[in-house]
Structures are given as structure tokens and as C-alpha cells.
Structure 1
Amino acid sequence: MRAKDIMTTSVVSVPLEGKLEEAVRLMLDNHVSALPVIDENDELKGLVSEGDLMRRVRGSGGLRRSWWLDILNGAGDSAKDFIKLKSHRVKDVMTREVVSVEEDAPVADIARLLEKHRIKRVPVLRSGRVIGIVSRANLLHALSALPEGAMQEPTEDDRALRLRINEALKEVPGAAVSLINYTVENGRAAVWGVAESDFEENAIRVAIENVPGVNAVDVHMGRLPIWVYGI
């Protein structure tokens, strides 16, 4: 099983020249905790996460340093800190050294990367462009769907079916596709994620059941907390 077999394909990204306010709004609207940062050619340039934003909050609440004095003394890191705390540009705050994988990366290798770098997710690339995200949740969902932990390579038919399911989910009104993950084995789809209501969950199930080639659907979806919707 490879990255392309388990990744979330509906990736929400932010432009390199975007503003932090835009990134925050995208995170809130799509209920995600990190966004790939892409340039005008859709190539990955960085990642902006809740962690990057929280560092700004923590930094702004402490004692103010004489950053200009540090600069005169040659402390370049202080100037870097100042930019991260004060800038409203995504490119000034984002993490630039992003761990990523290619679409054919084995799932076992991805798991080792997440553990080694102590990260929650990796962008999946094709020719430098982001085509998906693999998170710890994606890995757990994939493992739980396998019989007796067997890590089998999906057939080309199952891979093609997964792509059709992805297109079908985009047609479900109001569904947060970025929060839905699914695997396919021998025509059987297993679906995880969160939905706003029972009606939305059923709509997701119906959409997948109507995809030609799907012979069964197992749905394991939770509900987003009420506060997420601003109620």
C-alpha cells in the first residue's frame, strides 16, 4: 500500500504571497490544522500550521526584547523572530523545510518519517506539486481496514475506483471532503472522517454506493463539535 492509496486528495492550500488572515480563515472554514503553501506554479514551498501561529501568540505575550540592539550585536535569529512575530505574510511565518513524499512512497516508509520527524502529516507530491496529504489518521484508518494487519498492495481496479469515489464525494452538498478518508479493497470502500449530521453522513454513503464498481460501503464517521460551526 502506497501514499496514493490512503492520502486525502482534497487538499486545501494557501498561496505563497497570501496573508496570514487568509490562512487562518481557510483553516477554520475547512477544519484543518495545517496548509501547504504553494507558488504560482502550484509547487510546494512550505507549510503553515497551527503551531506556527501559536508561536506568534506565545511570543507576543512575553517580555519584549531589544531586537534592534540584538541586530546591531549580530544576533540574526532575533531579526528572524521579529519577522515571524510581526509579519502578516504567509511566507514569513511558514515552515520552509517540509518533509514530503512521492505518491508511490510505501506506507511503512511514511510511518517511519512521521515518527522520525515527530510530525503529524506529510504532503504527497507529483513532480513537485501537491496532490494529497497523508496524516497519522490516514495511516490508522488504512491499517484498521486491513484483515489481520495484512499490508496488501491495492489492485489497479481498486485504485481507479478510489479516484471515482473522490469525484463522487465532491458532489455531496456541504460535505467537508478534506475531512473524509477512505480506502478500497476488492470493491469494498471503508470510510472515516467527520460529518455535520446524520443526513450528511447518509449522503456520503449514498454517493459512494452509487459509484460503479463499489459493492459495499463501511462508514465510520463522527461528528464535529458544535463550537466548530460557531453555534
Structure 2
Amino acid sequence: MNAADIMTRDVIAVGPEATVAEIAGILLANRISGVPVLDGDRLVGIVSEGDLVRRVEAGTAPRYSGWLALFMSSSSVADEYVHTHGRHARDVMTPEVVSVHDDAPVAEIAELLEWRRIKRVPVLDAAGAVVGIITRANLLKALASRAVPASLPADDLRIRDALLAELRQQGWAGRPEPENILVEDGVVHLWGRYDEPAVRRALVVAAEGTPGVRGVVDHMDRSLKPDPLDRPNWPEPARP
């Protein structure tokens, strides 16, 4: 399994001139903790929520005085000033970005995240363009999916395919991910994060209306699947 198999392909990115306020809004609106900074197709940096914590607007900018100031060079203090007072992505971003190519093995990516103590890594194609991003959540999701049998019983596979086909015809469903639909013995388990209660209810209704479904379990208030082998902790399905 490689980076291309688990990465998030719809990358949310900003340009170097994006303002700090715009970036903060993007992080909050999309429930993400960082965004790549792109100059055209070229990756030039990354801004994480950690880069926005110490800001003069919030009154959290560091103040160096006394003996601590004696050990800091003018250059270091100036750099810190730019980071805490700058108004654009180019001022606050981390320019030395750790990235991987789309054919990088998942095991190497996990090791890289742990070793560098980072939460996300952009994925580049052979031309150096950003084609995806991998977070720790992507790795956990891949781990959970590996515990699911590679081949489903014929009836369960038919149910999942039919439900996916129905959802792909509905604009409100967006682009449903197959790994967020697990069918076991006719019971559909739905995963994913949806802010709109109406969309979440519509997904349940679509699953309940799929021929052959005996029950539906809504896990959509959780971001990741638990170990599928830990089934005693799963809630009982609602009967259609």
C-alpha cells in the first residue's frame, strides 16, 4: 500500500498572499489543522494551527525580556516578530516542508510522521506537483480497513455497490467513499463526518431503502472506524 492509496486527494491549499485571518477561517471551516502553501503548482510552505497560536492580535505573542533576551540574537528576535505580526501566509508558514512522493510505502510515511513529529505530509507526483495530503487519520483509516476481509460475501458486496450507486446519483451525498460503508450480514455500517443533520439522515434512509438491508448502524459522529474485529462494542442496528 502506497501514499496514493490512502491520501486525501482534494487538497485544501492557500497561496503565499493569503491573509492570516483567511487561513484561520479555512482551518475552522474545514476542521483541519494545517494547509499547504502553493505558488502556482509549486509547494513553498505549510501553515499549521501551531503557526497561528502565538499572535499579536490574540495577545499571545511571546515577549522576551531580562536574561532570556540576552541569549537571543537580533536575527532570531526579528524572525519571531515577522511570525507573530506578519499578515500573510508567506510570513507565518514553515518553508522547509517535509513531503513524500505518491509511490512512497505507507510504512515509510508512518515512520516519517513519527520521527519528524509532524501531523501531516503533502504528497507530490513525479513532476513535483501536490496531488494529495496524508494525515495521521489517513494512516489509522488504512489500518482499520486492512482488518476488513478483502472479499465480502456476494450479498453484502451487492448491497454496498447498490448503495454507492444510489449515493453517487445524489448531489447532497458529495463523493461517497467506499471505505466509509461496511456491510456485514446485511447490516450496513455508515462512517464519515457530516455537519448537516439532514444529509446524515438522508444517508441512513438511502441505506435502509437498499434491497437486502436488514439494519443500519450510524457511526457518522465518529471520524474513524474502530477495529472491525471489536464488534461486541458496536451498537445494535436500527431495523428498517
Q: TM bucket by the smaller chain?
A: 0.5 to 0.7
8 Å contact kept, 2:193–2:220: yes
Deviations 1:146-190 (A, max 9, x none): 13799xxxxxxxxxx9xx99xx599436x6x7xx86649xxx9x9
8 Å contact kept, 1:196–1:223: no
Q: Shift of the alpha carbon at 1:199? A: 3.6
- Trace 1:190-229 onto structure 2 (pairs within 5 A): 192-201=191-200, 203=202, 220-222=219-221
8 Å contact kept, 2:53–2:60: no
1:49 corresponds to 2:80: no
8 Å contact kept, 2:18–2:88: yes
Deviations 1:55-91 (A, max 9, x none): 336884543559xx98xx9621111011111110111
Deviates more, 1:190-199 or 1:124-133: 190-199
Mark the runs of 5 or more structure 2 residues left unpaired by the alignment.
151-160, 208-215, 224-240
Cα distance in 2 for partners of 1:182, 1:140 equals: 16
Q: What amino acid maps onto 1:45 in structure 2?
A: V
Q: Which has the higher contact order (CA 8 A, sep 6+)?
A: 1
Q: Aligned residue for 1:147? A: 147
Q: Aligned residue for 1:119? A: 118
Deviations 1:103-122 (A, max 9, x none): 11111111111111111111
Aligned identity (percent) is 41
Cα distance in 1 for partners of 2:6, 2:96 equals: 24
Corresponding residue SS for 2:26? helix
Between Structure 1 and Structure 2, how many residues are aligned? 194
- Trace 1:72-91 onto structure 2 (pairs within 5 A): 75-91=74-90
Q: Shift of the alpha carbon at 1:221? A: 2.5
Corresponding residue SS for 1:15? coil
Q: Shift of the alpha carbon at 1:204? A: 5.7
Q: Aligned residue for 2:22? A: 22
Residue 51 and residue 62 in structure 1: after superposition, are their counterparts in 2 closer, same or farther (change >3 A)?
closer
Cα distance in 2 for partners of 1:50, 1:221 equals: 25
Corresponding residue SS for 1:123? strand
TM-score, structure 2 as length reference: 0.64
Cα distance in 2 for partners of 1:149, 1:107 equals: 19
Alpha-carbon RMSD across the aligned residues, in angstroms, is 4.2
Q: Give the ranges of 4+ consecutive aligned residues of structure 1 lying more than 6 Å apart after TM superposition.
A: 205-208
Cα distance in 2 for partners of 1:90, 1:170 equals: 37
Q: Aligned residue for 1:133? A: 133
Structure whose CA Rg is larger? 2
Deviations 1:4-44 (A, max 9, x none): 111111111111122111111111221211111000x2211
TM-score, structure 1 as length reference: 0.67
Residue 85 and residue 61 in structure 1: after superposition, are their counterparts in 2 closer, same or farther (change >3 A)?
closer
Q: Which has the higher strand share?
A: 1
Q: Which has the higher helix share?
A: 1
Q: What amino acid maps onto 1:147 in structure 2?
A: A
Mark the runs of 5 or more structure 1 residues left unpaired by the alignment.
151-160, 209-216, 225-231
Deviations 1:115-144 (A, max 9, x none): 111111111111222111111111111111
Q: Shift of the alpha carbon at 1:201? A: 3.2
